[in-house]
Amino acid sequence: MNVRIGRSELELVVGDITEMEVEAIVNPANSMLKLGAGVAGAIARKGGPMIQHECDRIGGCERGRAVITGAGELMCQHVIHAVGPRQGDGDEEETIANATDSVFGICAKKKIQSVAFPAISTGVFGVPVEVCAGALLGAVIAALHRDGAPSRVIVCLADLSALSVFEEALGKLRKS
């Protein structure tokens, strides 16, 4: 699904985020910036050890914030590590929205024009896809109406079930 928002294109796709043809991909990170399982594990395997070395130099990142590293051997130039919440933290939607907004702040600062997001915190952190979809897409839509927004944003999802949830959330957000 592709939609135009402001001067930008928003795409919802099913795929492997490490294979997206964009300048930056978003890693759904933990606050210690340790690349372990899920999307982070795929980024570590395909990108090589340089990404983890850069994360180790940074040392950590607060929940709801993001930091940037190089992309090692990945096709993209940057990995933006966005720290989302764990299910049960109590402020899951706000934290996902803040992390997403922090990614857009980095994109503006670095003049990144294409970025791919995963469904932040829906893997090992256990946040329901429905919660992530509304929060992440709400923040994306708000960011795409601001100056300096990337011209292309992809939300790369793991399966058709998640895609369906995100498409439904996007439809509701565009009507409101």
What does the pLDDT average to over 88-117? Answer: 97
What pLDDT does residue 52 have? 98
CA 107 – CA 150 distance, rounded (Å): 7
In this structure, are residues 90 and 96 in contact, taking their beta carbons and an 8 Å threshold?
no
* 140 vs 149: CA distance, rounded Å: 10
Fold of the domain built from segment(s) 2-170 = Leucine Aminopeptidase, subunit E; domain 1 (3.40.220)
In the predicted model, what is the mean pLDDT of residues 115-139? 97
Look up residue 89 and give its two tokens. Answer: 């933290």
Contact 10, 155 (CB under 8 A): yes
pLDDT above 90 as % of the chain: 94
For residue range 65-93, what is the model confidence (pLDDT) as tens digits? Answer: 999 999 999 999 999 999 999 999 999 99
pLDDT at site 1 = 87
Q: Mean pLDDT score of the chain, rounded to an integer?
A: 96
Is residue 176's pLDDT more than 80?
no
DSSP string for 10-58: EEEEES-GGG--SSEEEEEE-TT----SHHHHHHHHHH-HHHHHHHHHH
Dihedral angle over CA of 51, 17, 81, 44, nearest 10: -30
Kindly report, residue by residue over 34-70, the tens digit of the pLDDT.
Answer: 998 899 999 999 999 999 999 999 999 999 999 999 9
Q: pLDDT exceeding 70 applies to what percent of the chain? A: 100
Residue 82 · residue 121 · CB < 8 Å: no
Domain residue spans of the chain: 2-170
C-beta of residue 121 within 8 angstroms of C-beta of residue 27: no
